[in-house]
Structure 1
Amino acid sequence: MTNLTDLTFHELEALIVSLGEPPYRARQVWQWLWQKGCRDISEMTDVSKALRTRLAERATIAWPRVVRVRESGDGTVKFLLGLTDGEAVECVLIPEKDHYTACLSTQVGCAMGCGFCATGMLGFRRNMTPGEMLGQVLVARQYLLDRGEALSLRNLVFMGMGEPLLNYENLLKTLEALHHPQGLDFSSRRITVSTAGVKRHLLDLGKTGLCALAISLHAPTQEKREQIMPAAARLPLGELMEILRQYPLKSRESLTFEYLLLAGVNDADADARELVRLLSHVKAKVNLIVYNATPGLPFRQPRPERVLAFQNILKDKGIVATIRKSKGTDIAAACGQLRAEADCQAEGGA
């Protein structure tokens, strides 16, 4: 059975035509899927009964199953989602001043093995399909609708479980679906993809113009980066920066560099000065993230005065540097804390 949410618009159109219907019917079905959140083909009331019957013989509409919802004291919501094969992922809904941001996963587990990340402890299970990635958006949006929330889901960040560029083809289909004007209709300025750096697809992603880019940097030298991010050995820092110098940016757009501050590891004044030198040849802004303690990992959170001193060195040299306020730490929903291991099985399977 084909899951309709896995299909691009053109793939859906080809399916509709194969059933003997005119191409414009695909637009009707697409709107039911993405604008109206339909989960049952029989409920597509402006589609002929004959087409609904034939379509239901070939396809279904499958969203990820909500296994558990945890709500933080700061309004952050974490979803544990069961997938059809029994695997599970987590995604997070983050409240902002005038909207919500969804933090989305792209893989079950992760192959990058970053030493500070709970997801990396899982290892890699498999890539997520476009329908599974988009399903996170549908689940989050429905949650807000059911709650009667006044604020809408406006921003999407692919910063959850997994390395997005190691699931590039499915990521691309997901981004295209997100942009479709008869569908979810997200602006590229409202979508950010975070990567530790995968040489094969970095510039390809920039050429699509479908999203903004964030680079998980976390260290100013190759030696330190490899210590905490073993996969960094595959793309040396100098080569990564050279690729980023070529990265196509839109007007008023900068590259965002994410830098997780680990006490005694990468938070010294010398590290800040080295970071300034590293970023001197690209249009950069830095998101400083204070490490969130995770059981089983050896790192510590730096003192607040150390964080401010690091930030001030960057700012004094003209680099825009913000300290990202971590949300959802009380429910393990903050940066680096997502880990769905065994949760689904513990609660009855997917």
Structure 2
Amino acid sequence: MTFSLDITDSNTRAALASRAAAPQKASLVGLSRAEMAEALVAAGIVPERQARMRVQQLWHWLYVRGVSEFSQMFNISKDLRTALHQHFAIARPEIVEEQISADGTRKWLFRFPARGAGRPVEIETVYIPEEGRGTLCISSQVGCTLTCSFCHTGTQKLVRNLTAEEILAQLLTARDRLGDFPDRDTPAGAIVPADGRKVSNIVMMGMGEPLYNFEAVKQALLIASDGDGLALSKRRITLSTSGVVPEIFRTGEEIGVMLAISLHASNDDLRDLLVPINKKYPLKDLIDACRKYPGLSNARRITFEYVMLKDVNDSLEDAKALVQLLKGIPAKINLIPFNPWPGTNYQCSDWETIEKFADFINNAGYASPIRTPRGRDILAACGQLKSESERLKKSERLALEAMMIAGHGEA
């Protein structure tokens, strides 16, 4: 059964409308420590000699305790809390909709307020609970420029990049909804144990191309992995790119997270069709950049994502070419059963074909797990996100379910 929750009652909607009408205050979420100190001093509410101490306090409340109101920062004086509220914001985005899949996957439709002369924007974020871990799939852009032919998000034009604040807000709000921050009445030094986290991993695999929004993604991920705050291990953060070659080395050097490549083909002719950015950065350049990725080793392998498309890229010849292409690169190859969406012309490979493909790659020495499709019934699976969060008619949903059954059997 699929659940869709309306979590914005009339009082909440009224508050959001009031907030939208009020002058927009600068947010402290997403700022580096230096930027936060500079903002506090510039606002005239903290003397320079106190800035470092105040930033430590705010950092703890924002990223360890997870508060979204200055009034909850109990070890800060009332006068300072009032001044912070007058000058700055730390509020969460509006949750337009929360959907819960039959398999426990959650999808949120977030709305962020207008910036400058722009308009409010919406993006989708997905949480996938698994045995021993929980993974949050985060978006980096509103829409996408890449138009990958098998991807639902690619049918939505790029509206704008997300800010570091908006990228982090997805993580903070998900942890709110999942109860993943300490209770407000626990001692101020308490933190969520690493083993008890509901969000233990994050993947930049949502809407958009992260490396076309490099600086904001970098800042957000450095804050997410900061040991005195959200404290996610960089080994548990994966950035997925379709192949923006010039930024790949910088990702390893400046962010230091795990890398995933949205590959999907082993030759340029086919990849040009499936992933059009390949025309700008062909496979030779992409693979060369992967070989030079900082920190690459058997312990820090690159993940190559490969969507299984029936009669397109799923033959044994394709598998042989894939192994040859990646020869010598410490790698894992994730096989992704194609997830259908309204209007697509692709079908998922037969399950027997996928298993034969995986067996060949495994026998060649590469780990080749077949990704378990999650959240398909709420269009939350890989390649299905789109910020309109389209509400399908009953006939469309039945047709979609029939496509999945025909393409995947019991998978």
Alpha-carbon distance between aligned partners in 2 of 1:180 and 1:146, rounded to the nearest angstrom = 17
Other-structure match for 2:99: 70
- Answering whether residue 132 of structure 2 is matched by residue 132 of structure 1, we say no
- Answering whether residue 363 of structure 2 is matched by residue 316 of structure 1, we say yes
Other-structure match for 1:6: 30
- Answering whether residue 154 of structure 2 is matched by residue 120 of structure 1, we say yes
Q: Which amino acid in the other structure matches residue 35 of structure 1? A: V
Cα contact 1:9–1:177 (8 A) shared by 2: no
Cα contact 1:216–1:258 (8 A) shared by 2: yes
> Alignment partner for residue 341 of structure 2, among 288, 294, 300?
294
Cα contact 1:291–1:302 (8 A) shared by 2: yes
Name structure 1 gaps, 5 residues minimum. 345-350
Alpha-carbon distance between aligned partners in 2 of 1:277 and 1:103, rounded to the nearest angstrom = 30
Alpha-carbon distance between aligned partners in 2 of 1:333 and 1:33, rounded to the nearest angstrom = 28
Other-structure match for 1:347: none
Q: Which amino acid in the other structure matches residue 34 of structure 2? A: H
Cα contact 2:30–2:223 (8 A) shared by 1: no
Other-structure match for 1:166: 212
Q: Which amino acid in the other structure matches residue 320 of structure 1? A: A
Q: Which amino acid in the other structure matches residue 268 of structure 1? A: S
Displacement of 1:49: 2.6
- Answering whether residue 76 of structure 2 is matched by residue 30 of structure 1, we say no
> Alignment partner for residue 304 of structure 1, among 351, 374, 384?
351
Other-structure match for 2:200: 154
Other-structure match for 2:238: 192
SS of the aligned residue for 1:57 comes to helix
TM-score (norm 1): 0.94
SS of the aligned residue for 1:185 comes to coil
Other-structure match for 2:81: 52
What number of residue pairs does the alignment pair up? Answer: 343
Alpha-carbon distance between aligned partners in 2 of 1:313 and 1:182, rounded to the nearest angstrom = 44
> Alignment partner for residue 262 of structure 1, among 299, 309, 318?
309
Cα contact 1:257–1:285 (8 A) shared by 2: yes
Other-structure match for 2:377: 330
- Answering whether residue 134 of structure 2 is matched by residue 100 of structure 1, we say yes
Please show how residues 222-301 of structure 1 align to structure 2 within 5 Å. Answer: 222-249=268-295, 252-301=299-348
Cα contact 1:29–1:47 (8 A) shared by 2: no
Alpha-carbon distance between aligned partners in 2 of 1:264 and 1:95, rounded to the nearest angstrom = 32
Q: Which amino acid in the other structure matches residue 241 of structure 1? A: I
- Computed over aligned residues only, the root mean square deviation of the Cα atoms, in angstroms, reads 1.8
Displacement of 1:343: 5.7
Select the structure with the greater relative contact order (CA < 8 A; seq sep ≥ 6).
1
Displacement of 1:140: 1.0
Which deviates further from its counterpart, 248-257 or 112-121? 248-257
Displacement of 1:209: 4.8
SS of the aligned residue for 1:35 comes to helix
Alpha-carbon distance between aligned partners in 2 of 1:84 and 1:191, rounded to the nearest angstrom = 27
- Answering whether residue 108 of structure 2 is matched by residue 79 of structure 1, we say yes
Which deviates further from its counterpart, 17-26 or 272-281? 17-26
Q: Summarize deviations over 1:133-177 as a string: whole Å, max 9, x none.
A: 1111111111111899x7521000110000000000000110111
Cα contact 2:308–2:349 (8 A) shared by 1: yes
Alpha-carbon distance between aligned partners in 1 of 2:305 and 2:198, rounded to the nearest angstrom = 26
Cα contact 2:339–2:376 (8 A) shared by 1: yes
Displacement of 1:17: 3.4
Cα contact 2:180–2:198 (8 A) shared by 1: no
Q: Which amino acid in the other structure matches residue 81 of structure 2? A: R
SS of the aligned residue for 1:165 comes to helix
Other-structure match for 1:348: none
Alpha-carbon distance between aligned partners in 2 of 1:146 and 1:95, rounded to the nearest angstrom = 13
SS of the aligned residue for 1:54 comes to helix
Q: Summarize deviations over 1:77-106 as a string: whole Å, max 9, x none.
A: 111111112210000010110221100000
Alpha-carbon distance between aligned partners in 2 of 1:200 and 1:230, rounded to the nearest angstrom = 16
Alpha-carbon distance between aligned partners in 2 of 1:174 and 1:66, rounded to the nearest angstrom = 20
* % identical aligned pairs: 39
SS of the aligned residue for 1:120 comes to helix
Structure of higher CA gyration radius: 2
Cα contact 2:221–2:255 (8 A) shared by 1: no
Displacement of 1:287: 0.3
Alpha-carbon distance between aligned partners in 2 of 1:131 and 1:231, rounded to the nearest angstrom = 27
Cα contact 1:287–1:321 (8 A) shared by 2: yes
TM-score (norm 2): 0.80
Query: Alpha carbons of 1:65 and 1:343: their partners in 2 closer, same or farther (altered >3 Å)?
Result: farther
